[in-house]
């Protein structure tokens, strides 16, 4: 895969310009504001997170499919101004591990706990994976099989319709993904966006966020238990200001995404959508329909 292409951050696909005619907020700008929420949500035990990987990780995709997927997640969360994106965080490998979850025993679905070794514990309990009961195994097998079909069909269709997709410059990959009419590619992107977020900012044991790069990029220390925080860290925390965002325009363009600001709303909607971005967008758009007149 070509790696010396300069990063170009295009506006989020399919969103209109602002009412005053100026360009919509960039994808990276909005992601920077939402990343903290994703980092807190994508923790062990939640059903939406990708599956842990390690030296013995199970593989599902072939090399060509994995290269195509890497090129896709690179456009979902692009690197920018020194901040690593999904590609550096190896989000594509965490997705591959999710698809091969049942090639290990116990299946790599739920990491153990309660602590990793990042917060003072003597060992990393997250690296031990929990057996599934009969109900969980049946439900997860069905879900993983569905995802296997969605990803393989989508990646193969994308590679066939856009030859050399993995080696194209970023803007051309953006254009291909924005304009595709292939239902298999569209279905694949519906889940790949969510998984790319999780693979970039979730706990490293889940395969992405390699070496904590995703957390480092948003200034998140990661889990701090059992050590916790000092009184000074709680009462006088170091605050790093994120880039200012035009809130009104962001709500107009990204209203559905902004609803993820509360964990309760996010988890309920994610569970209802079963990780499908299209379904999630529909649910959030319906919730915000009554607010549109106020913008």
Under the banding of pLDDT at 50, 70 and 90, the label for residue 272 is low
Contact 208, 197 (CB under 8 A): no
Residue 152's nearest CA partner among 77, 91, 100, 90 is 100
Phi, psi at 26, each rounded to 5°: -75, 160
CA atoms within 13 A on the CB side of 74: 25
Buried b (16+ CB within 10 A) or exposed e, 245-258: beeebbbbbbbbbb
> What are 26's strand-pairing partners?
11
Q: How far apart are CA 58 and CA 104, in angstroms?
A: 7
Q: Give the mean model confidence (pLDDT) for residues 166-177.
A: 93
Which helix (H) or strand (E) segment holds residue 104: the answer is none
Coil, helix or strand at residue 8: coil
Q: Give the mean model confidence (pLDDT) for residues 260-265.
A: 45
Residue 154's CB is within 10 A of a number of other CB atoms, namely 26
| Cβ neighbours for 34, distance < 8 A, ≥ 6 positions apart | 257, 258, 260
The burial class, CB within 10 Å (0-12 / 13-18 / 19+), for 59 is middle
Residue 195's nearest CA partner among 112, 94, 119, 127 is 94
Can you tell me which residue has the tokens 């999780």? 198
Q: Give the mean model confidence (pLDDT) for residues 256-260.
A: 42
The burial class, CB within 10 Å (0-12 / 13-18 / 19+), for 179 is exposed
Q: Give the mean model confidence (pLDDT) for residues 264-281.
A: 62
Residue 71's nearest CA partner among 152, 1, 154 is 1
Under the banding of pLDDT at 50, 70 and 90, the label for residue 193 is very high
The burial class, CB within 10 Å (0-12 / 13-18 / 19+), for 228 is exposed
Q: How far apart are CA 187 and CA 93, in angstroms?
A: 19
pLDDT at 233 over 60: yes
Q: Please give the structure tokens belonging to residue 262.
A: 């509360």
Could you tell me the CA-to-CA distances from 25 to 28, 163, 230, 249 in Å, in that order? 8, 30, 37, 8
This prediction has a pTM of 0.67
Under the banding of pLDDT at 50, 70 and 90, the label for residue 243 is low
Give the pLDDT score at 207.
87
Coil, helix or strand at residue 243: coil
Under the banding of pLDDT at 50, 70 and 90, the label for residue 229 is confident
pLDDT in tens, 58-111: 579 999 999 999 999 999 999 887 788 999 999 999 999 899 999 888 888 898
Q: Where are the beta strands (DSSP E) in the chain?
A: none
């Amino acid at each position: 895969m070509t790696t010396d292409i300069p990063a170009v951050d295009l506006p989020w696909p399919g969103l209109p310009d602002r009412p005053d005619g100026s360009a919509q907020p960039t994808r990276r700008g909005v992601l920077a504001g939402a990343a903290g929420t994703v980092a807190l949500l994508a923790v062990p035990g939640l059903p939406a997170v990708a599956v842990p990987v390690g030296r013995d990780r199970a593989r599902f995709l072939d090399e060509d499919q994995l290269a195509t997927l890497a090129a896709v997640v690179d456009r979902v969360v692009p690197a920018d101004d020194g901040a690593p994106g999904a590609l550096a965080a190896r989000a594509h490998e965490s997705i591959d591990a999710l698809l091969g979850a049942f090639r290990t025993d116990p299946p790599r679905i739920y990491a153990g706990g309660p602590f990793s070794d990042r917060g003072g514990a003597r060992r990393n309990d997250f690296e031990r994976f929990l057996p599934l009961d009969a109900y969980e195994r049946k439900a997860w097998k069905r879900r993983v099989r569905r995802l296997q079909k969605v990803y393989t069909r989508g990646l193969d269709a994308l590679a066939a319709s856009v030859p050399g997709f993995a080696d194209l410059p970023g803007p051309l990959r953006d254009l291909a993904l924005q304009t595709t009419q292939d239902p298999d590619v569209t279905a694949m992107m519906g889940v790949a966006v969510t998984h790319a977020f999780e693979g970039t900012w979730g706990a490293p044991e889940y395969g992405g966020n390699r070496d904590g790069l995703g957390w480092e990029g948003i200034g998140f220390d990661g889990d701090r238990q059992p050590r916790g925080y000092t009184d000074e860290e709680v009462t006088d925390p170091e605050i790093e200001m994120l880039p200012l965002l035009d809130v009104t325009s962001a709500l107009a363009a990204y209203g559905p995404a902004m609803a993820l600001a509360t964990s309760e709303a996010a988890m309920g909607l994610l569970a209802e959508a079963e990780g499908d971005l299209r379904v999630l967008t529909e649910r959030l758009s319906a919730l915000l329909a009554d607010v549109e007149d106020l913008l």
